């Protein structure tokens, strides 16, 4: 998962029961170290994988990661050899990282290649149209700015998401262990939350569930979250979209996975 669960850990500190989109299971597993977690996903294959991961199973390669592997195979053509990338990822001084990025990685060939790979024509072969509708125009240029923002803030040598993104290497910050206190639920998130008793959860990790969602579903999910939330509950909601002007509590810069435009941390009752 390219979602930095430490954002949730900080936002949910001192709170109890958490509702989490299961996805690949990484966030649920991390949150289960300190919280009781309900991990929900509508996709049975995705939920089964998250369950295996929570039981201590190894990461597995999915369609999106296979597509990224193909893109990585072309990196040497823009000068991004594994030797150069390893040198970059070994850095821990963000000033040195910015200088290295400018001198060795931010090349004309890289910018052209990123624009091509992130074009709607290419992405359409991998991702659902609903998700693509949430991406901003000129996504390649925007993604480059997000990478630069992250490299200027987070030490590469301590960032497992940078290692995974650029080299395809999975690095666990913590020793993997089986998570005992996760309940896995195969269901639509809004539907399941509507069935819960009121005030059931102190926090919600919703991934980017609303990217590409219709307005009717956005309204429904918001109502379901507010109903299931305790008085001081907090929600973390991600999006690939660019933030609207004036968005408060956007933690995208603090998310080490480097990709998000929005990591919205707010009261669940303000969703």
Give the DSSP letter string of 118-150.
Answer: TSHHHHTTTS-HHHHTTSPSSHHHHHHHHHHHH
Helix, strand, coil percentages for the chain (3-state, nearest 5): 45, 15, 40
Is the pLDDT reported for residue 173 higher than 70?
Answer: no
What span, in angstroms and rounded, lies between the C-alpha atoms of 154 and 157?
Answer: 9
Residue with more model confidence, 233 or 129: 233
Look-up of token digits 């390669």: 61
User: How confident is the model over 25-39, as a mean pLDDT?
Assistant: 94
pLDDT-derived band at 176, boundaries 50, 70, 90: low
**Region class of 233: left (phi > 0), else alpha (psi between -120 and 50), else beta:** beta
Highest mean pLDDT among 60-74, 181-195, 237-251: 181-195
User: How confident is the model over 216-232, as a mean pLDDT?
Assistant: 97
Q: Which of 233, 263, 235, 243 is nearest to 161 (CA)?
A: 263
The pLDDT assigned to 245 comes to 86
> Sign of the CA dihedral 24, 27, 33, 34?
negative
Listed in sequence order, the residues at least 6 apart from 13 whose beta carbon sits closer than 8 Å to its beta carbon are 34
The pLDDT assigned to 266 comes to 96
Is the pLDDT reported for residue 106 higher than 70?
Answer: yes
Quote the tokens at residue 115: 């624009």
User: How confident is the model over 32-37, as a mean pLDDT?
Assistant: 94
- Please give the share of the chain, as a percent, with pLDDT higher than 70: 97
Rounded to 10 degrees, what is the CA torsion of 211, 174, 86, 94? Answer: 70
| Cβ(256)–Cβ(159) below 8 Å | yes
User: How confident is the model over 219-233, as a mean pLDDT?
Assistant: 97
Residue with more model confidence, 96 or 131: 96
Q: How many residues does the chain have?
A: 271
Q: How far from each other are the two terminal CA atoms of the chain, in whole angstroms?
A: 23
The pLDDT assigned to 74 comes to 83
- Lowest mean per-residue pLDDT among 7-11, 26-30, 87-91: 26-30
- Lowest mean per-residue pLDDT among 9-18, 75-84, 151-160, 166-175: 166-175
- Please give the share of the chain, as a percent, with pLDDT higher than 90: 72
What span, in angstroms and rounded, lies between the C-alpha atoms of 181 and 100?
Answer: 43
User: How confident is the model over 130-135, as a mean pLDDT?
Assistant: 81
Where are any strands of DSSP class E within the chain? 18-21, 37-41, 182-186, 201-205, 229-239, 262-267
């Amino acid at each position: 998962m390219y979602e930095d669960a430490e954002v949730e850990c900080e936002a949910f500190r001192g709170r109890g029961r958490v509702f989490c989109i299961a996805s690949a299971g990484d966030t649920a597993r991390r949150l289960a170290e300190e919280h009781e977690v309900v991990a929900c996903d509508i996709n049975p294959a995705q939920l089964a994988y998250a369950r295996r991961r929570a039981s201590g199973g190894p990461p597995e390669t999915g369609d999106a990661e296979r597509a990224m592997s193909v893109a990585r195979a072309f990196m040497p053509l823009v000068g991004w050899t594994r030797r150069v990338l390893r040198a970059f990822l070994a850095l821990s001084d963000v000033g040195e990282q910015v200088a290295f990025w400018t001198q060795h990685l931010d090349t004309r060939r890289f910018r052209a290649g990123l624009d091509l790979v992130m074009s709607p024509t290419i992405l359409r072969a991998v991702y659902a149209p609903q998700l693509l509708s949430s991406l901003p125009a000129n996504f390649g240029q925007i993604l480059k700015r997000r990478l630069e923002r992250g490299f200027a803030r987070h030490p590469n040598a301590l960032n497992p998401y940078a290692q995974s993104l650029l080299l395809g290497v999975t690095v666990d910050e913590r020793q993997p262990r089986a998570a005992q206190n996760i309940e896995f639920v195969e269901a639509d998130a809004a539907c399941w939350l509507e069935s819960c008793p009121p005030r059931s959860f102190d926090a919600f990790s919703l991934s980017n569930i609303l990217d590409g969602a219709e307005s009717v579903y956005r309204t429904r999910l918001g109502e379901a979250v507010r109903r299931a939330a305790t008085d001081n509950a907090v929600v973390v909601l991600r999006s690939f979209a660019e933030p609207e002007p004036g968005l408060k509590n956007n933690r995208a810069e603090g998310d080490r996975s480097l990709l998000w435009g929005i990591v919205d941390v707010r009261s669940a009752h303000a969703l």
